[in-house]
Structure 1
Amino acid sequence: MKFQIKHEIKGRMRVHMAQKRMTFAQADTLLYYLHSFKYVTSVQVRERTGDAIICYVGDREAIIDRLRKFHYEDVEMPEGLIENSGRKVNQEYQDKLVYKVLFHYARKFLLPYPLRVCYTGLTSIKYIKEGLQTLAAQKIEVPVLDATAISISMLRGDFNTAGSVMFLLGIGELLGEWTHKKSVDDLARTMSLNVSKVWLKTEDQEILVPVSDIKEGDQVIVHMGNVIPFDGLVTDGEAMINQASLTGESVPVRKTVESSVYAGTVVEEGEVTVRVKEVGGSSRFEKIVTMIEESEKLKSASEGRAEHLADRLVPYTLAGTGLVYLFTRNVTKALSVLMVDFSCALKLAMPISVLSAIREASLYNITVKGGKYLEAIAEADTIVFDKTGTLTKAEPTVAKVVSFNGQSTDELLRIAACLEEHFPHSMAKAVVDAAEQRNLAHEEMHTKVEYIVAHGISTSINGKRAIIGSHHFVFEDENCRIPEGMQQQFDELPKEYSHLYLAIEGELAAVICVEDPLREEAEAVVNSLKKAGISKVVMMTGDSERTARAIAKRVGVDEYYSEVLPEDKVGYVEKEKEKGRKVIMIGDGINDSPALSAANVGIAIRDGAEIAKEIADITIGADNLYQIVTLKLLSDSLMKRIHKNYRTIVGFNTGLIVLGVGGILQPATSALLHNASTLLIGLKSMQNLLTD
């Protein structure tokens, strides 16, 4: 496509696309296309001007070549991305804000005074009605205060002050509504499905196919730990389904044949075959938005305190107004108190601060499911890491396969991949990827696969029982044996690798040596977390004592625990909480899910098991552990902003009241300064925290 470079510095260019008008859909398509290029670090696309601002690393010519090859119709967009991008909402509220300001000042300077009075009177009906309804409910809250201030101003004939108060209240409402809607939509988008492939049931086997190939009426098989990709009806199997993402239920629900299941819910236990009822994903987005709107998850304790404090202050403001009039008999001075209250700013600034922080977190590829989790991160003093896929790289690799039964290593790896591909874990993915790299294609040759959490997998191949998993599972739980004459080979297995054991008919068939390299940034992240206020860093793993000890020493954790089961992780988290400590748990596997749920804050790795992401309160990307440090700094900065807002609101408004009672400021001036300060604090609260 044709474009023009309008401005350029090293690592950044602004280009103008050669077209008359850019639609919202085209802007989102261009944004997705550029963002998916490996050299691009950030992109902004402005549909009004048709410009794109691209920040990149590496070769400039690669970016230009990428732009030359761009055509809107050639880009395959993920389902629901354009429909729910939020671009239309942003323009809608920007236009509303501009029109509101222009209309206010045009009316003020162009309308004759009698018409302005009529307009102010009509506009006031809304606020007076809300105040009366609040009183009728036997409450004295913010709407009562607003209605009183507007009513008294108009009774005194001061229609300019009444109009200014309503204008600034309207601006505040608009900004609050805009920020809230954008933050909720951003959160809903990150919680939406990201399933690329599913298991399609055919007459004689399961086939892994792209989601786009699935049609209404197809049957898909969903294994334990995986997300259900479509609304549908269970035709086979039985499972416990976690529906928290749609219903908020914390307890999983049993589903059997003929039960309805919904896209986005997760199989905690069991396995089901689902007949697809609806392929489209837009309805799920709307369901998630509704769930978030109705849920208390968005509310942090600070927001709750701000709302309650704001409402509790209203009677004192009204009483103060009455007392000033009683002692001074001066309506002007009494109105100076009424025109200034703490509640508007408190109710506007705190939610905006929290929602803006959630939005900012998404810029760093961090999904936060509610404001209270940011507050919990700020208060946390203990952090527990799972090892595999968390402190170690999310993509371990198979280093070698050692045969113990005389079969070829390729055949043994093919069998292992056939079992492991059904379950989401970084070790399993390493086996499947190794088989693909060696072009070891296979058909489903086993019976139903059973996954034993934190242990391994069992099934039957050609009538023979086959298992794959940990040393504990294979040799202690299943009592498998090492073939005669192979003990020395077993003892000489390379100790620098993690080991997966494959046994057939009770006898060890192969050991798959998996290289699980430590993340380069792991040690620096642990040190940074300690500097940021985390006093205790713990590592827990199902791996051997030998491997755990080596990793713990390199990373610099305070404590480590090896060969742990899911219940051991939960027990440790609960024990720490009983001591009064605030605990963060970070993991990526099905076996981490109970501990993620038990912790004050559960953080899941985005490439991990679906059930872990479902249960977790926060999700981070798989490519950089520094996001945990960013999250801690963001949370700390949010709490500092909230406390600063408290001090500013109380200090400034107290000063206005004193100046008003002293006769230095007129009510109209007090109202203007109060509402302007509320607006400025709200705008300040929308700014990014980590660039202050």
Structure 2
Amino acid sequence: MKFQQYIEKHSNQITLLTAILIIAGYLAKYALGSNVGYDVTLAVASIIAVIPIFIHAYQALKVKVISIELLVTIAVIGAFIIGEYNESAIVTFLFMFGGYLEKRTLSKTRESIKSLTEMAPTTALVVQDDGTTEEVDVDDVDEGDVVLVKTGASIPVDGKIVEGHGYTDESAVTGESKEISKQVDDSVFSGTIVSDGFLKVEATKVGDDTTFAKIIELVEDAQDTKSHAEKFIDRFSTYYTPAVLLLAIIVFLFSQDFKLAITVLVLGCPGALVIGAPVSNVAGIGNGAKRGILIKGGDAMDTFSKVDTFVFDKTGTLTKGNTAVSAVKNYSDDLDSVIALTAKVETLSDHPLGRAITTYATTKKLEYNALPIADNETTKGQGIAANVDGQEVLVGNQKLMQANNVAMTDQQVSDMKELQSHGSSVVLVAVKNQLQLILGVSDTIRPEIADELAALRKEGAKHLVMLTGDNAATANFVAEQIGIDEVHAELMPEDKVKFVKQFQKDGRRVAFVGDGINDSPSIATADIGIAMGSGTDVAIETSDVVLMQSNFAALVHAYGLAKRTVLNTKENIVIAVGVVAFLFIGLLLGFIYMASGMFVHEASILVVIFNAMRLIGFGKPTDEIGDVALEPAK
């Protein structure tokens, strides 16, 4: 075991020593005219270089795997038997040197992922009861502790600012390069950096529960999740490598040419084929990670690339989610009283429409918090019925009114349709079974959304669908503005799931894009679930793709990245298979030999790695994502 560890640790030095011995051998032959020195030196080089190769072969055989290293080891032994020390020395050196270059180049594909782990904070300044601070290990910080973060320091916890103000660099979490202004009550993420100012943060999540820790875990797990291509190659390699060994035996039996059989072993090594798909996968995931795009492994990448139908939630996805009361139709004698009752009922809800109404009441300085609520009932997909200050109040949509036999006049119906035709969601309010109020609540359409959806089509999206719980008029208004193909409105969460399943039955590959919380059933049902923004636990756990920035430029980039990654994987497979075919043809025609074949073999490994590394630079720089639409990669 110690010997094996020593060999592993000094593999680079062994490669260098082998190169020096090969050079010395050729100098002995051609400068000094010593064939004995040439043979002895190259034999020693072969023995030294084959030791680490043999160890790997032996370890693989222990778990019943016939590896590439076994083929090379047998080839070296065969070369010794026939006295081709130069062939064995060059083959082992090229194999070792190829491994060295492979590690060096592969490390570059992991740099963006490695940089994430290096940014994880290790200590925290915890504020004590007397106002002093104590530096502790980040694992010793508890929820509820207040930590001090100075300029230039990394925030060690997820939490809420309780004192101070400043700017934070959240690029490690969201991919957003612009500094974000932070004030008291704002939320902050672990792993982000205070670029200016100071903050005191009350910890809400610590250790492995922080968003940053979950991102690192997700990206690391994603690298181990294999694509369909990788799984196929794994199965293929299981049979391919023994087949090469069998082919070499057959060649020897028919030709009685031992050197030819050994050369078949060397040329048949499937190195580029084995590494081509994983390196593309890692490079693609790394590209996304440094832009705040988390793709859960090669399988998700492969499925995402085949998506032709994108299904969107409306509020907070196609729109900003910053809803506000934009119109008031009053049919009561005391408008302020009815708005106060409505606002009190909406304190029971966390819906964006409800928040808009409570904000509106607060802005009008209406006192509603002290109003007593005797009982309440929420009807999914309709609204809330409650007894507020001794009055029966209904707040919701037209379905709620109809269910409670609240009549609407022709004028009220006309007013409601007028608001809906202008893109407003409507909230109907009845007190004592009489309609008293219609509120129009508008949500701002994302300004970049039309261009980004057009870019999504250019990348290959065939159908763009909106599924929303909002009314049909509002949904159609938004769809017309941004270019949605198909709209289904007034849906409850289970209805959205039914539509997703129907699209799948129709043969479509479906991606559902939502906020990761209310839409989690649809996200889980779709072929690919995509959570826009938030970075919440639900988003990270239930979706296949998490966009830490809530913008569509990141969605377009992720979709394009998935397609380029899968294409890159296919390119690498073609290169690998093509090289093996070329080597065997060359062997048959007599212009490829053992050493030259190994050189081409190792070169092909580097070619597929460098091809995959092109994915690292795919798309525009991080600071441009979120500002402008991404252009398809040339």
- Structure 1 residue corresponding to 2:335, chosen from 406, 413, 436: 406
Gaps of 5+ in 1: 1-98, 194-211, 220-228, 232-262, 264-275
Please, which moves more after superposition, 503-512 or 651-660? 503-512
Q: What displacement does 1:611 show?
A: 3.0
- Aligned-pair identity in percent equals 25
2:592 counterpart residue number: 665
Q: CA contact under 8 A between 1:314 and 1:343: conserved in structure 2? A: yes
- Structure 2 residue corresponding to 1:588, chosen from 502, 508, 515: 515
- Structure 2 residue corresponding to 1:172, chosen from 95, 98, 102: 102
Q: What displacement does 1:409 show?
A: 8.2
Q: What displacement does 1:670 show?
A: 1.2
Q: What displacement does 1:571 show?
A: 0.8
2:425 counterpart residue number: 498
Q: What displacement does 1:584 show?
A: 1.4
1:579 counterpart residue number: 506
1:392 counterpart residue number: 319
Q: CA contact under 8 A between 1:482 and 1:507: conserved in structure 2? A: yes
CA distance, structure 2, for counterparts of residue 449 and residue 679 of structure 1: 67
CA distance, structure 2, for counterparts of residue 483 and residue 345 of structure 1: 72
- Structure 1 residue corresponding to 2:247, chosen from 285, 306, 320: 320
CA distance, structure 2, for counterparts of residue 563 and residue 281 of structure 1: 39
Please, which moves more after superposition, 350-359 or 287-296? 287-296
Distance 1:333 1:109, change over 3 A: same
- Secondary structure of 1:367's counterpart equals strand
User: Counterpart amino acid of 1:148?
Assistant: I
Q: What are the within-5 Å matches in structure 2 for residues 206-225 of structure 1?
A: 216=142, 218=144
- Secondary structure of 2:260's counterpart equals helix
CA distance, structure 2, for counterparts of residue 308 and residue 582 of structure 1: 26
Task: Indicate whether 1:145 and 2:74 are aligned.
Answer: no
User: Counterpart amino acid of 1:127?
Assistant: I
Q: CA contact under 8 A between 2:455 and 2:556: conserved in structure 1? A: yes
Q: CA contact under 8 A between 1:128 and 1:151: conserved in structure 2? A: no
TM score, norm. by length of structure 2: 0.67
Q: What displacement does 1:605 show?
A: 1.2
User: Counterpart amino acid of 2:419?
Assistant: P
Q: What are the within-5 Å matches in structure 2 for residues 115-126 of structure 1?
A: 121=47, 124-126=50-52
Greater CA radius of gyration, 1 or 2? 2
- Secondary structure of 2:419's counterpart equals coil
Distance 1:136 1:170, change over 3 A: same
CA distance, structure 2, for counterparts of residue 287 and residue 607 of structure 1: 13
CA distance, structure 2, for counterparts of residue 485 and residue 530 of structure 1: 42
Q: CA contact under 8 A between 2:572 and 2:611: conserved in structure 1? A: no
Q: What displacement does 1:172 show?
A: 2.4
Distance 1:562 1:660, change over 3 A: same
Q: Deviations over 1:620-642 (max 9, x none)?
A: 36554243333333222223222
Q: CA contact under 8 A between 2:215 and 2:294: conserved in structure 1? A: no
Q: CA contact under 8 A between 2:273 and 2:577: conserved in structure 1? A: no
Please, which moves more after superposition, 622-631 or 532-541? 622-631
CA distance, structure 2, for counterparts of residue 343 and residue 484 of structure 1: 77
Q: Deviations over 1:17-39 (max 9, x none)?
A: xxxxxxxxxxxxxxxxxxxxxxx
Q: What displacement does 1:127 show?
A: 3.1
1:544 counterpart residue number: 471
CA distance, structure 2, for counterparts of residue 163 and residue 327 of structure 1: 30
- Secondary structure of 2:484's counterpart equals coil
User: Counterpart amino acid of 1:393?
Assistant: K
- Secondary structure of 1:494's counterpart equals helix
Q: CA contact under 8 A between 1:538 and 1:557: conserved in structure 2? A: yes
Q: CA contact under 8 A between 2:207 and 2:213: conserved in structure 1? A: no
User: Counterpart amino acid of 2:568?
Assistant: R
Please, which moves more after superposition, 532-541 or 276-285? 276-285
Q: Deviations over 1:505-527 (max 9, x none)?
A: 87767544222233344344444
Q: CA contact under 8 A between 2:18 and 2:48: conserved in structure 1? A: no
Q: What are the within-5 Å matches in structure 2 for residues 125-140 of structure 1?
A: 125-140=51-66
2:571 counterpart residue number: 644
CA distance, structure 1, for counterparts of residue 534 and residue 258 of structure 2: 65
CA distance, structure 1, for counterparts of residue 80 and residue 42 of structure 2: 12
Gaps of 5+ in 2: 1-9, 26-39, 122-137, 146-156, 160-189, 191-202, 620-632
Please, which moves more after superposition, 489-498 or 641-650? 489-498
Q: What displacement does 1:117 show?
A: 6.5
Q: CA contact under 8 A between 1:394 and 1:622: conserved in structure 2? A: no
CA distance, structure 1, for counterparts of residue 366 and residue 294 of structure 2: 37
2:562 counterpart residue number: 635
Q: What displacement does 1:326 show?
A: 3.2
CA distance, structure 2, for counterparts of residue 436 and residue 651 of structure 1: 70
Q: CA contact under 8 A between 1:541 and 1:561: conserved in structure 2? A: yes
Q: What are the within-5 Å matches in structure 2 for residues 278-357 of structure 1?
A: 279-281=206-208, 298-341=225-268, 343-357=270-284
User: Counterpart amino acid of 1:334?
Assistant: A
Q: CA contact under 8 A between 2:533 and 2:550: conserved in structure 1? A: no
Distance 1:283 1:560, change over 3 A: closer
Q: Deviations over 1:592-633 (max 9, x none)?
A: 221111110111211487534531211236554243333333
- Secondary structure of 1:584's counterpart equals strand
Q: CA contact under 8 A between 1:183 and 1:355: conserved in structure 2? A: no
1:235 counterpart residue number: none
Q: Deviations over 1:370-418 (max 9, x none)?
A: 2222222222222222222222334333324566553268856864774
User: Counterpart amino acid of 1:336?
Assistant: T
Q: What displacement does 1:643 show?
A: 2.0
Q: What displacement does 1:311 show?
A: 2.8
Q: What are the within-5 Å matches in structure 2 for residues 446-465 of structure 1?
A: 454-456=381-383
Larger RCO (CA under 8 A, 6+ residues apart): 2
Q: What are the within-5 Å matches in structure 2 for residues 528-543 of structure 1?
A: 528-543=455-470
CA distance, structure 2, for counterparts of residue 467 and residue 152 of structure 1: 88
2:497 counterpart residue number: 570
Q: CA contact under 8 A between 2:95 and 2:598: conserved in structure 1? A: yes
Distance 1:217 1:324, change over 3 A: closer
Distance 1:686 1:517, change over 3 A: same
Q: Deviations over 1:557-592 (max 9, x none)?
A: 332211111111111111221232211111226332
CA distance, structure 1, for counterparts of residue 67 and residue 80 of structure 2: 21
1:196 counterpart residue number: none
1:376 counterpart residue number: 303
TM score, norm. by length of structure 1: 0.62
Q: What displacement does 1:672 show?
A: 1.7
- Structure 2 residue corresponding to 1:161, chosen from 84, 91, 108: 91
CA distance, structure 1, for counterparts of residue 274 and residue 415 of structure 2: 66
1:513 counterpart residue number: 440
